[in-house]
Structure 1
Amino acid sequence: MNYLLPHTIDNFLGEKLIFKRLLHEPDGDVLVAENFVQPGSGPPMHTHWLQDEGFTVLKGRIGYQLAGQPEQYANAGESIVFKRGTPHRFWNAGPDVLHCEGWLKPANTSIFFLSSIFAAQKKSGKAQPEVFDAAYLIIRYASEYEMNEMPVFVRKVILPVVYRIGKLLNKYEHFKDAPEPVKHL
């Protein structure tokens, strides 16, 4: 699935992402993006198994946390990097819209995955993505991403069952052009 860049997504919960460009480098494409996050909003604890991710705060204050570590903060002009395999979360820790420039390397399936998660949130009308879409995305792309705040029983037992039911009910036709997941090296 190819996206024309720039490509903008939002999840109606206070997060907007603009995928601006891909920089082709010998060791993997870098996806450059901007994000705008409303006060208090941001993604839950998650892991990118195959990608490094970084942000430079352009305006506002970002709160961030690595699993098991204390909360930290960065202000305009400061940068943070999350190394692949490190569970992390971030949020707008200020009173105004947080504006950052960010990157993911290698890009892999990031545009598709994040676009699909945001669309599934819109479909459900809440922070939890629509259940069949969530099952599809979390099961299919488990080699790339993990939602750490989701209970293990839900991830390992409930979602695989929902995924199989979704396949039986033909719930995934809209994912027919989904990119193949990237496997761990």
Structure 2
Amino acid sequence: MNYSLPHTIESHLGEILTFKSIRHEPDGDVLIAHSFTQPGSGPPMHTHWLQDEGFTVLEGRIGYQMAGQPAQYAGPGESVVFKRGVSHRFWNAGSEVLHCEGWLKPANHFVFFLSSVYAAQNKSGKAQPELFDAAYLLTRYASEYKMDNIPPFVTKVVMPVVYRLGKLLNKYEHFKNAPEPIQQVPVLMNNMDTVG
């Protein structure tokens, strides 16, 4: 699936994200985005196995946390960086809309993946994405992303079973042009001290 930029996605949970551009660099493309997050909203604890991610607060107050560490906060003009392989979460910790400029490197399949997650959340009407879509995304792209709030048994047993059932029931026609996952073993040795 190819997306022309800028490309905007919106979650019914109070997040709007516009993927603005790609900056080509010798060691990987950088995806530039702007996010607008309602008070209290933000993604749960998750991991990008293959990507570094950063935010600069333009307006509002961001709360953020790495697994095993206390919550921290940043305001306008301050930046936050999450290294690949480090579980993290962030949220709007203020009372006004949080506006950030963000980047992700390398871009990989992030526009497709997050667009699909938002669509699956909107389809379910809840924070949890629609079951078959969630199983597809979390099983097929497990080498790239992990949702840390999902128990390991569900991730390693239940989701793959639902994924296979979805294939049998032809639930994935809307993913027919999905990109091939990147089959790279995550390297965590350099991040072990920061994971806690």
- Which category of TM-score, normalised to the shorter sequence, fits these structures? over 0.9
Q: 1:62 and 1:135 mapped to 2: Cα distance?
A: 30
- Percent sequence identity is 75
1:154 shift after superposition? 0.8
Deviation at 1:153, TM superposition (A): 1.1
* AA at the equivalent of 2:141: Y
Inter-partner Cα distance in structure 2 for 1:73 and 1:29: 28
1:99 partner letter:
H
Determine the structure 1 residue equivalent to 2:194: none
1:93-132 map, 5 Å = 93-132=93-132
Question: Are 2:75 and 1:75 equivalent residues in the alignment?
Answer: yes
TM-score normalized with structure 2 length = 0.93
Moved over 4 A (4+): none
- Pair 1:149-2:149 in alignment: yes
**What 5-or-longer segments of structure 1 have no aligned partner?**
none
Scaled by the length of structure 1, the TM-score of the pair is: 0.99
Unpaired segments ≥5 residues, structure 2: 186-196
The aligned counterpart of 1:182 is: 182
**Structure-1 residue corresponding to 2:16:** 16
Cα offset for 1:183? Answer: 2.0
Q: In the aligned structure 1, how far is the partner of 2:183 from the partner of 2:79?
A: 29
Question: Cα offset for 1:126?
Answer: 0.6
- 2: distance between equivalents of 1:126 and 1:142? 22
- 1:146 and 1:111 mapped to 2: Cα distance? 16
CA–CA distance in 1 between the matches of 2:103 and 2:169?
37
Question: Aligned partners of 2:180 and 2:57: how far apart in 1?
Answer: 32
Could you tell me which amino acid in structure 2 is paired with residue 91 of structure 1?
A: W
- In structure 2, how many angstroms separate the alpha carbons of the residues matched to 1:146 and 1:183? 14
DSSP-derived class of the 1:134 partner: helix
Letter in 1 for 2:175: F
Question: For the residues of structure 2 that align with 1:155 and 1:86, how far apart are their CA atoms?
Answer: 18
Q: Please give the per-residue CA displacement for 1:51-71, whole angstroms capped at 9, x wherever unaligned.
A: 000000000000000000000
